[in-house]
Structure 1
Amino acid sequence: MSETALLVIDMLNTYDHPDAGDLADHAEGMVGTLADLIGRARERDDVDVIYVNDNHGDFSADRRDLVRAALDGERPDLVEPIAPGDDATFLTKVRHSAFYGTALDYLLGRLKTERVILTGQVTEQCILYTALDGYIRHFDVIVPPDAVAHIYPDLGKAALTLMERNMHAELKSAVNCL
């Protein structure tokens, strides 16, 4: 149990969808930073690392299925550095927010979490909606702009601004958020 949870959102991606090229281009620039952040978080006793990934409409898919599909996808180089181990806490989701229809709120309550660090993709979609849901649940929200990936640069920037201004999210670089 700790006061801080690092959420790794939707990084198990096959990159075979219509906007995958733009997303992958931006994910390339952050995956190393994210892998380092995950590694540092795993070394600490005061941070829980929690993966939350879209099940892509396959309600029978579990962690192994999603990892395998992503590693067999178009960009395994973006998945390998951040892939969850068998012992990682892992939840599947069905919509944009990591809270919607998942056990995340319950889990964070059991862990006595007060602060969530949101990482992953897509900044203007799943990260934004998770930040809103975290904020309305009274979590302190931190978003490292260098550990999230967007599809559209202007929307990614606008989403970060919204999170900071409207949800009081703290924008901190990955090296400074732990």
Structure 2
Amino acid sequence: MKAWVYNEERELDAAQFADYLDPASTAVVSIDMHRGHLDDSPDCPCPAPRARDVVAPIDGFHDAARALGVRIVHIRSVLRPGGVDDVHGIPSAWRRTFPLHVGEIPNADAHAIEGSKWTEWVTRVAPGDMRVDNKRRLSAFYPTDLDFLLRNQRIETVVLNGGFTDCCVLNTAFDASNRNYRVIVLRDLVRGTDAHLEGAALAMVSLHLGLVLDSAELLRQWRG
């Protein structure tokens, strides 16, 4: 099995990771692939332009996973109208720190507001897929019911895709590992703030949290 360890491709013995590779106990968790990150308009409230090029590949991977019986969970950030969960309560830290790097984000207060166009999916949600619609901070587990949903489905391995690699994907990977889920992050189907932070996040996952694989390799293992 080809995997990435500290950002170098390595050949691993798949038998040593057989428990990671059972599609029957696996769910794909796709994080924040909605318009609030992916829209190309100037008023996009939290733009993640590097992630736009993985929309079609994620849809293709999800189709292949569904065909193998692997369950798909779509996660999106949604805040109550009026911003009481965030800008008009205790604001998320990123709202104050991220602009130090990228500059002012003019429409940031509109990010993830319930009922707005910014919470509309960009990747395809198929009938039978599961959804978690109340992610309010960086991890898909907090303060959502994702853990309940996965355990009720007897899921033991989570496969992560989406964005940002160094933010929500990494936070979710840590939380999943701390809850004793086996973690796989798909190197070709996540995107970070930039290539440097993306690589750093994937290196951390590979050393401390789970496997970093390319999506084609994971499908090959599932089919094998």
Quickly name the TM-score band, shorter chain normalised. Answer: 0.7 to 0.9
Give, in whole Å, the separation in 1 of the partners of 2:140 and 2:200. Answer: 20
Question: Post-superposition shift, 1:147?
Answer: 0.4
Find out whether 1:17 has 2:17 as its counterpart. no
Give, in whole Å, the separation in 2 of the partners of 1:137 and 1:151. Answer: 26
Partner residue of 2:199? 157
Partner residue of 2:72? 49
- Whether contact under 8 Å (1:8, 1:119) holds in the other structure is yes
Question: Post-superposition shift, 1:44?
Answer: 2.2
Give, in whole Å, the separation in 2 of the partners of 1:13 and 1:33. Answer: 17
Deviations 1:88-137 (A, max 9, x none): 31112101101111111111111111110000011000000000001111
Deviations 1:64-99 (A, max 9, x none): x46x5455xxxx9xx2xx231454311121011011
Partner residue of 1:177? 218
Question: Post-superposition shift, 1:174?
Answer: 0.9
Specify every segment of 5 or more residues in structure 1 that has no aligned partner in the other structure, as ranges: none
Give, in whole Å, the separation in 2 of the partners of 1:139 and 1:54. Answer: 22
**What is the alpha-carbon root mean square deviation over aligned residues?**
2.3
- Whether contact under 8 Å (2:77, 2:119) holds in the other structure is no
**CA 1:160–1:57 in 2, change beyond 3 Å: closer, same or farther?**
farther
- Whether contact under 8 Å (1:142, 1:177) holds in the other structure is no
- Whether contact under 8 Å (1:9, 1:121) holds in the other structure is yes
- Whether contact under 8 Å (2:78, 2:119) holds in the other structure is no
Aligned partner of residue 138 in structure 2, secondary structure? coil
Partner residue of 1:7? 29
Give, in whole Å, the separation in 2 of the partners of 1:11 and 1:57. Answer: 19
Identity %: 27
What amino acid is aligned across from residue 41 of structure 1 in structure 2?
A
Aligned partner of residue 28 in structure 2, secondary structure? strand
Specify every segment of 5 or more residues in structure 2 that has no aligned partner in the other structure, as ranges: 1-22, 38-43, 86-112, 220-224
**CA 1:155–1:56 in 2, change beyond 3 Å: closer, same or farther?**
farther
Find out whether 1:89 has 2:123 as its counterpart. no
Equivalences for 1:51-66 in 2 at 5 Å? 51-58=74-81, 61=114, 65=115
TM-score of the superposition, structure 1-length normalised?
Answer: 0.80
Aligned partner of residue 51 in structure 2, secondary structure? helix
- Whether contact under 8 Å (1:98, 1:130) holds in the other structure is yes
Give, in whole Å, the separation in 2 of the partners of 1:89 and 1:137. Answer: 20
- Whether contact under 8 Å (1:2, 1:112) holds in the other structure is no
Question: Post-superposition shift, 1:31?
Answer: 2.0
TM-score of the superposition, structure 2-length normalised?
Answer: 0.65
Aligned partner of residue 196 in structure 2, secondary structure? helix
Stretches (4+) displaced over 6 A: none
**CA 1:121–1:56 in 2, change beyond 3 Å: closer, same or farther?**
farther
Question: Which residue, 167, 177, 188 being the options, matches 1:146?
Answer: 188
